[in-house]
């Protein structure tokens, strides 16, 4: 069995208190964390990642039940931060998700940024990250990070435009 190595970037940002939640285009709206929405976060995560490179790097993202399991794990983390965990909702249901936790340091950690394909290009990823960063600031954190697969150039570019900078390069081994 061959092993494939995926280059991942850990990107960090200083939180200087300037992250302001962006408004969403009509008719979309923010849905704050609520325990009964866990399955909705998982479903948006699945719809967002199932056909993307990250589903190869993290096979659970390409599986509906894997996303449910992952979302339950994120929720159970001791540092789970509801203020940094959001859904974007619209007339057809939920279309974007982000989860945030307080990691060791303490530092904010964005777990996943997902926007379903038919809603990409509307600035929703940017809005989700800004909303999570505002939640980290509200929690008194001074730094945040995320990890991204280097091949996901659009995401890397988005995070750079928001002020994230590469702090470390990692390699994820995946059995293929």
Instruction: Catalogue all structural domains in the chain, each as residue range(s) with its CATH number.
Output: 3-175 (3.40.630.30)
Q: Say what percent of the chain tops pLDDT 90.
A: 90
Per-residue model confidence (pLDDT) at position 18: 66
**For residue 48, which of 127, 110, 119 has the smallest C-alpha distance?**
119
Specify whether the CB–CB gap between 71 and 111 falls below 8 A.
no
Q: pTM value? A: 0.95
Specify whether the CB–CB gap between 3 and 171 falls below 8 A.
no
**For residue 136, which of 169, 158, 164 has the smallest C-alpha distance?**
164
Tens-place pLDDT, residues 22-42: 789 999 999 999 999 999 999
């Amino acid at each position: 069995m061959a092993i494939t190595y995926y280059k991942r970037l850990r990107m960090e940002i200083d939180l200087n208190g300037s992250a302001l939640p962006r408004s969403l285009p009509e008719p979309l709206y923010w849905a704050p964390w609520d325990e009964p929405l866990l399955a909705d976060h998982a479903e948006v995560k699945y719809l967002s990642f199932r056909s993307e490179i990250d589903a190869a790097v993290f096979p659970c993202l390409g599986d509906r039940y894997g996303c449910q399991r992952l979302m339950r794990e994120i929720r159970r983390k001791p540092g789970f931060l509801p203020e940094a965990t959001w859904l974007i909702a619209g007339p057809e249901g939920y279309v974007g998700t982000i989860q945030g936790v307080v990691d060791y340091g303490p530092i904010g950690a964005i777990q996943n940024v997902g926007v379903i394909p038919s809603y990409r290009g509307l600035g929703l990823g940017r809005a989700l990250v800004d909303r999570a960063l505002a939640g980290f600031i509200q929690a008194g954190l001074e730094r945040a990070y995320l990890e991204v697969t280097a091949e996901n150039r659009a995401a890397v570019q988005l995070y750079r435009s928001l002020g994230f900078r590469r702090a470390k390069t990692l390699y994820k081994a995946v059995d293929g």
